[in-house]
Chain A
Amino acid sequence: MIAAILVALFALSLVPYLLAKRNVYRAAYTSALLAAPLVPIGLYPLLTGQIYEEQYSFLGWRDLFTIVLTPLNGIFVFTIGLVGALVAIFSGPYMEYRSRDVSRDAALFYLTYTPFVVSLAMVTVVKHLIMIYVFLEIALIASLLQVVYYGYGDRFRIGLMYLVWSHVAALLMLAGFVLMVSPSMGAAPIYGGQYDVGPLPLALILIGALIKMAALGLHMWLPYVHAEAPTPLSALLSPVLVGVGGYILIAVFVPLAMSSSVLFSGYLTLYALATGIYGAFMALAQNDIKRLLAYSTVSQMGYMLLGIAVFNNYGITGAAVHYLSHGLGKAVLFMAAGYLILYMHMRDITRLGGLYADHAPMAIASIIGFLNLVGILTVGMIAEITLVVGVTERFGLSPAGAPYILALAALLIASAVYSFNTIRALFFGPRRYQNSGRPSPLVLVPIVVAAAASVIMFLPPISGIIWENIYGYIALALG
């Protein structure tokens, strides 16, 4: 049933393609409709706590096409679906404007949009390792075409950069998958796949996922790609694509590495914290709003990696909830950046300021977006406190745990510094820009809805239900 729906969604992506040749808006609405079914699919296990499995084997490959829905991948599918649908609505006016700029109709954008969104969701719901790889590559190709045809700046070079980095990441993971195979390739370890692995495959998978997540030192491609991609794509890449690297770590790496030494966990934790702090510092140094948000994604991936690195149930639950909060928050912010490009024709925050005066709803939504990143009174706060509990459970408060705890505090503070600084620079202070045009509700509504969703998901009882279900599942799956 679920598999049929997902396959149908792939097939139906031709519809927006055909529509886009005549009317971008209809293509946008249709794409939103095609992403929307992912929302209930993700929400079902998330709210009920149930595990749902559809088994499909192929030519003796057991479980090759098997699909599993759990509260853990439910939160990923839900986020991808919700952000995908909202961004699709937002994309209408934006792609109309962008196609004029690049003198090309938006058909190719909408042909690749649904496959990109659905294959991202597929990465998280398939049971078999090979299929994880396959859908990662499909997502890569779909998004690559969008960067190359609708991107900014030197888009061919940046497209190539994106291709090489992402492909290398995917191939490293594939190599890891192949090397850890016992006689036949099988289910991801979180679904009970049994593997006897040495350090090499684990290292390959880890490095591949770290490139995907743009961890410190391996992050260099992200600011280019996320800043120069067409903005609706940026609003998907940053919030939902990079975090999928985190999902792969949770589903494949963590179950196998959990028993490894505390020392390794310690190093990985410090690396995660370094990524977070470094990204925050880099974000503060940017003037281009899209580059700033891209570096902020690097920083936020530090949080997600932190949850994974502590190797306990709190940390992983925190990482999963963080995916939702970062997804919604960053989608709001990238869409807001698109709003600025559409109506101010401006990306430089030093030339903006006082935007609250004419754009209060967008400003308030963006503030909520930043609150997700900082972890204040949005679903980001649930993620933050869960992650912090994970870290304190692992390292405690002792002189030996001090480096972790102090770096954690530094990360929390550094996130607030660049976030509130950017809020001030963009929205407050004297008005410094020329206004041009009134925003279309199609642009504003998705921004506001995503922001509101991040607040609603924070409130009781919904956040409690989601949290308990994810935690319960992780405790069950990882023991």
Chain B
Amino acid sequence: MIEALLILSPVLFSAIGVPLRERAKAVVTTLGTLVSALLATLIFMSGQEYVLEYPWIRGLGLSLSIHVTGISKVMGLLVSWLVFLIAVYSIRYMQGDYRPGWYWFMFGFFATSMLIIVYASNLWFLLVGWEGVGLASWALVGHWYRDERDKWVGDERHVMGTKYWWTPSRAGLRAILTVRIGDAFFIIALAYTFSSLGTLDIFGLRGAEWSALSGWALPLLFLFMIMGPLTKSAQFPFHEWLLTAMTGPTSVSALIHAATMVKAGIYVLIIISPIMLGALSVAPTVLTVFYLLLVLGIITAVMTTVMALASGEFKLVLANSTAANLGLMTASVGASGVLYQLTGNYGAAAFPIAAALAHIIGHAVSKASLFMGFGAVIHEAGTRFIYDVSGLYKYMRVTAIAMFLAMFSLMGIPPFLGFFTKEMALASIGIGVAIYSAVLLSFLTPIYGLRLLGLTFLGETRTHVHEAPPLMWAPYMALALAGIPLGLMWPVGGEKAVEETVAQYLRSAEVYVSKVAMYIPLLFLVLGVALGAYLYVIRHGVELVGGWRTLWRVAYDRFYLPVLYDRIIGGGFAAISRALYVAVDVKVLDAFYHRLLPSAFGYLSALFRAMQLGRVNLYIIYIMLGIIMTGIIILLI
């Protein structure tokens, strides 16, 4: 009962709010998220672990089952409190909005869908939340459906004939269609799992008879299954939707980046990791799937970090940084299988997965704060472009302090929480040549972080703005400050608690930590901070020349991937449909059935009419001919 209320209260309260007035909607939905957060806390504190199951469609293996285990308790606590804080922030941020009914209902629906993912132990049931999260993010990314110019992402120019600005409705379409690609394969994977193994219970699948599946079926199954998380968590080559999803209200960005949507993908990877590891132990071919996660995660992390250095919009920097951190988490999960295979020790798989879970927390706390804070900056300064503002520290001190604190955590500076969780993730992926990516990320992250802070808050003050109201800054200040005590707690028990939670979930007796020497990445972190501070704190920006400028341009244009996606794939799809319509439907099928056939009938009927001349001797000839032909046919047979 408590569990049902915990999951459902956001959507139920927001549904109650539908007929109410704007302010009441906001308060009621926020109350719903508070109820949910308090219940999540209650369950977190209870210390019990159990699974609840109610039948839904037995014949399909679909049941309303939830697991209250260490891992879902931690995630539930994180999600529900972040949702509550973002709801509080939204009350003021969305005040006077033209579509409050849509916003608040979808907000509650979003939260409930995410909580279903967190607690579901049946994968079909999880899919219900999964689809809900995708739908809600589509609805909220396109919340400002009138496509006003100030809600766009990108600047109004064409690159290789492609529009390089995205309206909310277009960004929403990109988001839903990208995740739909993953979902199609995800659904097929679940269906195949059920039809071949008879269950979709995440615990029941661990001891599955994998040997029953032939050769390629197993890696293909997991390849399809990870397509869902890869698209939802915006991993290369599916990361583009996340960058244009910035068209939604900033509170929505905070929700998508910190608490829901993209974290759902990583969380599902963590949830299914014991199943994949179990399959790996009997079928080495599954290792390809882990390698794929590792490689795609690293590509995403490096690529989006580079793009974050060049982005010209506040939210775009943050979005790139989210994709980069998600890349780290994805790569960590990938590393779990690789380490398991390399060491032959199941405990070795636990640490990277613990790192992914830890970094979900570390990243979420700082990123929620950053989005809300920069949302306030955009709100107050009236622009989404970094270069339009400067020296805002003078007027927005509280916000500036909060943003510095949150960004330090994101950059991975001790003693903030982000330092520890990022270190775990970097340590996890430090296998073989992947260590270079860890070095590169350590070096580049502080530069884009300091760039964003320096260009926004430091330097000469050009415009007069106001500090955000307390109802808005309280949530992001609280989260920014939370990074410090959480960070201090980390070495004295936090890390251990997360590791034990994961080990318990994996049913691994121990957590085998294979930390590669992290001094080199640490050294590069220091170098990155120094360079970032020089460029953006001391010098307040830098003029790029020559090859650097070309590199910047390529990164600024997002490696020209929007050209591929919007023009070649999107435009190609539309062009094919029009061409098929004209070439096949109109010119062949329609012409055949509705012009050629009728005119053939018309021609035949004219022919037969022409034979009826009303002359008797002609008819006698026809009769004779008929008799002769019939005779020939009879003789032949």
Contact = CB atoms under 8 A, between A and B. Distances in A.
A391 B191 contact: yes
A416 B176 contact: yes
Contact of B184 (A161, A224, A409): A409
A428 interface: yes
Given A220-B590, A385-B124, A396 B192 contact: yes
B96 to A, nearest CB: 17
B128 A377 contact: yes
Contacts of B128: 377, 381
Interface string A348-387: 0000001011001000000000010010110001101110
B195 A413 contact: no
Nearest to B593: A220
A282 B131 contact: no
Contacts of B59: 317, 467-468, 471-472
Contact of A460 (B64, B177, B578): B64
Nearest to B192: A392
B217 A424 contact: no
Interface stretch (B505-513, B569-577, B616-624): B569-577
Nearest to B124: A385
A377 B57 contact: no
Interface in B505-558: none
B146 interface: yes
B62 to A, nearest CB: 8
A456 interface: no
A85 interface: no
Contacts of A220: 585, 589-590, 593-594
A430 B152 CA distance: 13
Contacts of A360: 101
B581 A412 contact: no
Contact of B216 (A221, A398, A460): A398
B578 A285 contact: yes
Given A416-B176, A463-B56, A392 B188 contact: yes
A199 interface: no
B57 A463 contact: yes
Contact of A396 (B56, B217, B593): B217
Contacts of A285: 574, 577-578, 580-581
B585 A396 contact: no
Contact of B131 (A224, A376, A388, A429): A376
B173 interface: yes
B5 interface: no
A56 interface: no
A384 B187 contact: yes
B132 interface: yes
Contacts, number: 152
B577 A428 contact: no
B612 interface: no
A417 B505 CA distance: 38
A53 interface: no
B60 A389 contact: yes
Interface string B170-210: 10110011001101110110111011100000000000000
B86 to A, nearest CB: 23
Interface string A403-433: 0010011001100110011001001111100
B121 interface: no
B167 interface: yes
B169 interface: yes
Interface string B31-55: 0000000000000000000000011
A468 B57 contact: yes
B191 A388 contact: yes
A397 B574 contact: no
A399 interface: yes
Nearest to A278: B580
Contacts of A354: 145-146
Contacts of A371: 135
B158 interface: no
| Most interface-central of B169, B170, B184, B216 (chain A CB within 10 A) | B184
B180 A416 contact: yes
Contacts of B188: 388, 392, 397, 405, 408-409
Contacts of A428: 142, 145-147, 168-169, 172
Interface string B556-596: 00000000000000000110111011000100011001100
A217 interface: yes
B577 A284 contact: yes
B84 interface: no
B58 interface: yes
Nearest to A471: B59
Contacts of A468: 57-59
Contacts of A284: 573-574, 577
B185 A409 contact: yes
B378 to A, nearest CB: 22
A242 to B, nearest CB: 17
Given A397-B192, A424-B172, A385 B187 contact: yes
B465 interface: no
A402 B181 CA distance: 16
B145 A398 contact: no
Contact of A399 (B54, B57, B216, B574): B216
Interface string B206-225: 00000001111100110010
B45 to A, nearest CB: 29
Nearest to A382: B57
Question: Which interface residue of B147, B172, B176, B191 has the most chain A CB atoms within 10 A?
Answer: B191
Interface string A211-252: 000000101110010000000000000000000000000000
Contacts of A399: 216
B416 interface: no
Contacts of B173: 420-421, 424
B181 A413 contact: yes
B7 to A, nearest CB: 14
A157 to B, nearest CB: 9
B146 A389 contact: no
B167 A429 contact: yes
Interface in A17-71: none
A140 to B, nearest CB: 18
A461 B220 CA distance: 34
A318 to B, nearest CB: 10
B169 A429 contact: yes
Contacts of A392: 188, 191-192, 194-196
A427 B135 contact: no
Interface string A184-224: 00000000000000000000000000000000010111001
Contacts of B181: 413
A420 B138 contact: yes
A325 B101 CA distance: 27
A381 B55 contact: no
Could you say which of B169, B576, B581 has the most chain A C-beta atoms within 10 Å of its C-beta? Answer: B169
Contacts of B581: 281-282, 285-286
Nearest to A280: B577
Interface in A459-478: 460-461, 463-464, 467-468, 471-472
Contacts of B145: 354, 356, 427-429
B56 A398 contact: no
Interface string B52-86: 00111111101010000000000000000000000
Nearest to B181: A413
What 5 pairs across the A-B complex have the smallest Cβ distances? A428-B169, A412-B184, A393-B195, A285-B581, A428-B145
11 contacts: A282-B581, A282-B585, A285-B581, A371-B135, A377-B131, A392-B191, A396-B196, A397-B221, A428-B145, A429-B167, A464-B62
Given A385-B191, A397-B213, 12 more contacts: A220-B585, A281-B577, A282-B577, A285-B577, A356-B145, A396-B196, A396-B217, A398-B216, A409-B188, A417-B573, A428-B169, A468-B57
Interface of B: 54-60, 62, 64, 101, 124, 127-128, 131-132, 134-135, 138, 142, 145-147, 167-170, 172-173, 176-177, 180-181, 183-185, 187-188, 190-192, 194-196, 213-217, 220-221, 224, 573-574, 576-578, 580-581, 585, 589-590, 593-594
